[in-house]
């Protein structure tokens, strides 16, 4: 073969096809056609529906970690918010309960003070208010300490009452405070009058057997005393003004082997819960002194001679 007949150009290494510009023009025209056709004829809507239906399980599976992370974050934030809300609600509830208790206490104290003021207007003797500071330290007595003393003109023996009745008597006076022995103290005695029968007697403190009560001692077994009788001060002792409520008879025991009846009474005053009281002036300042023994007259002496 002659050398002139041979093609001296090297063969193409890659198979040549349409040019890149031709491809760009073709696919651009196709895309434009499809967009116009989809806008006008909605030809891609069924394809989209089929593709979305087919790919939904894959999409749901791939979205689960994201949903789980969001739900976990929301759950944690919700739990924290609920705990914080619960703590705030508990604090508000405790504060409201405290305020409610204070309101009840203030209402009770206000009612007692009003009754004390009304009692002060009814009393014919001078009185001054006092506040109970604390109970006496002796466990075998029933005494309280009030915030009035010598500086306020308190005298030993002054009666002490609350809004319901006689509470006790001042037994010791200090410069700024006073000691009050309650009517339920075992060493305390107070002359009383039965408002139903008018019979006078003496009520003694009996703090042990009845848990803070009074007892009328040395009353005959046939004495006209019934449960429910109200006892008031008789005023014969020169200390307590007459007519102050003292106690109510709760139990009468009459035994055949005893000549005396056992009569138990409940004090009308708040012997173990008083907060504000009235200290009265002792009645002895308004009672004339008893007559003194005078020397016998000469006529009496002559009559008395044999």
According to DSSP, the residues that pair with 89 across neighbouring strands are: none
pLDDT in tens, the chain (306 residues): 455 555 556 555 555 667 888 888 888 988 888 888 777 777 777 777 888 888 888 888 888 888 888 888 888 888 888 888 888 888 777 777 766 666 665 666 677 666 666 666 656 678 888 989 988 877 778 899 999 999 999 999 899 998 888 999 999 999 999 999 999 998 899 999 999 998 999 999 886 665 678 999 888 888 899 999 999 998 888 888 888 899 999 999 988 888 899 899 999 988 888 888 889 888 765 555 666 655 544 554 454 444
CATH of domain 127-286: 2.40.10.340
CA distance 197 to 252: 15
CA distance 119 to 164: 9
pTM value > 0.75: no
What are the boundaries of each domain within the chain?
31-122, 127-286
CA distance 200 to 136: 31
CB 177 within 8 A of CB 148: yes
CB 192 within 8 A of CB 202: yes
CA distance 160 to 71: 72
End-to-end CA gap in the chain:
208
DSSP helix/strand/coil, 82: helix
């Amino acid at each position: 073969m002659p050398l002139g007949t041979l093609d001296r150009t090297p063969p193409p290494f890659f198979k040549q096809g349409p040019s890149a510009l031709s491809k760009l023009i073709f696919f651009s025209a196709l895309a434009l056609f499809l967009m116009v056709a989809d806008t006008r004829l909605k030809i891609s809507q069924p394809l989209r529906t089929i593709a979305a239906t087919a790919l939904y399980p894959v999409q749901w599976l791939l979205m689960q970690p994201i949903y789980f992370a969001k739900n976990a974050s929301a759950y944690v934030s919700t739990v924290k918010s609920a705990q914080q809300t619960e703590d705030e609600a508990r604090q508000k509830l405790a504060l409201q309960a405290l305020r409610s208790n204070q309101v009840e206490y203030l209402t009770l104290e206000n009612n007692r003070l009003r009754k004390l003021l009304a009692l002060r207007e009814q009393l014919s003797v001078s009185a001054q208010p006092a506040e109970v500071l604390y109970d006496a330290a002796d466990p075998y007595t029933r005494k309280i300490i009030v915030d009035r003393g010598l500086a306020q003109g308190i005298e030993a023996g002054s009666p002490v009452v609350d809004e319901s009745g006689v509470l006790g008597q001042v037994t010791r006076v200090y410069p700024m405070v006073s000691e009050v022995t309650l009517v339920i103290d075992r060493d305390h005695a107070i002359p009383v009058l039965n408002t139903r029968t008018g019979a006078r007697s003496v009520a003694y403190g009996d703090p042990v057997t009845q848990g803070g009560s009074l007892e009328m001692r040395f009353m005959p077994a046939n004495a006209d005393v019934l449960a429910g009788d109200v006892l008031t001060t008789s005023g014969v002792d020169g200390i307590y003004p007459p007519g102050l409520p003292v106690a109510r008879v709760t139990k009468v025991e009459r035994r055949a082997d005893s000549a005396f009846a056992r009569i138990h009474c409940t004090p009308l005053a708040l012997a173990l819960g008083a907060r504000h009281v009235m200290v009265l002036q002792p009645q002895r300042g308004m009672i004339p002194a008893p007559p003194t023994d005078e020397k016998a007259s000469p006529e009496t002496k002559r009559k008395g001679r044999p």
